[in-house]
């Protein structure tokens, strides 16, 4: 091992360490979360803890207010944009659109 340069030794050591289950698994997971969180921070996202970055890894859509800040975990549907039309949540006459708005409202209150 000593006959190789420092970079080769470092890569070998890290590969050996991360492939020793279960000892390296924790560090590999944290390393991946930190790398993912740094990428998200470059896009303008800010996290209070690394657990939030882990939760955001499986999110496909985020609904935010016009300022783009989520201040609480409860959102209220004010309207629905569906098939090129905007519908107010309280004044929907079409039953399928009204049902869709209610489902969206219920989904935002699921904890």
Q: Give the residue among 62, 76, 65, 63 at the shortest CA–CA distance from 109.
A: 76
The answer for residues whose C-beta is within 8 angstroms of residue 1's C-beta and 6 or more apart is 9, 12
- Would you say residue 26 has pLDDT above 70? yes
Same domain for 3 and 24, yes or no, is: yes
Is the same domain home to 41 and 84? no
Banded pLDDT at 94 (limits 50, 70, 90): low
DSSP 20-45: STTHHHHHHHHHHHHHHHHHHHHTT-
pLDDT at 14: 82
CB contact set of 41 (below 8 Å; sequence gap of 6+): 47
Q: Is the full-model pTM beyond 0.75? A: no
Total domains present in the chain: 2
Residues 21 and 47 in one domain: yes
Residue 4: give the domain boundaries.
Answer: 1-60
Between CA 29 and CA 11 the distance in angstroms is 18
One domain, residues 42 and 78:
no
Residue 84 sits in the same domain as residue 104: yes
pLDDT, tens digit, 9 for 90 and up, residues 27-81: 777 887 788 778 878 887 777 777 777 776 667 777 666 776 666 666 666 777 7
């Amino acid at each position: 091992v000593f006959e190789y340069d420092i970079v080769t030794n470092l890569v070998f050591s890290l590969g050996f360490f991360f492939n020793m289950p279960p000892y390296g698994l924790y560090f590999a997971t944290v390393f991946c979360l930190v790398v993912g969180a740094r990428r998200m921070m470059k896009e303008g996202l800010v996290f209070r803890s690394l657990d939030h970055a882990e939760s955001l890894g499986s999110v496909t859509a985020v609904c935010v207010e016009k300022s783009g800040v989520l201040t609480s975990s409860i959102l209220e549907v004010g309207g629905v944009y569906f098939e090129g039309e905007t519908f107010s949540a309280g004044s929907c006459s079409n039953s399928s659109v009204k049902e869709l708005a209610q489902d969206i409202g219920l989904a935002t209150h699921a904890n």
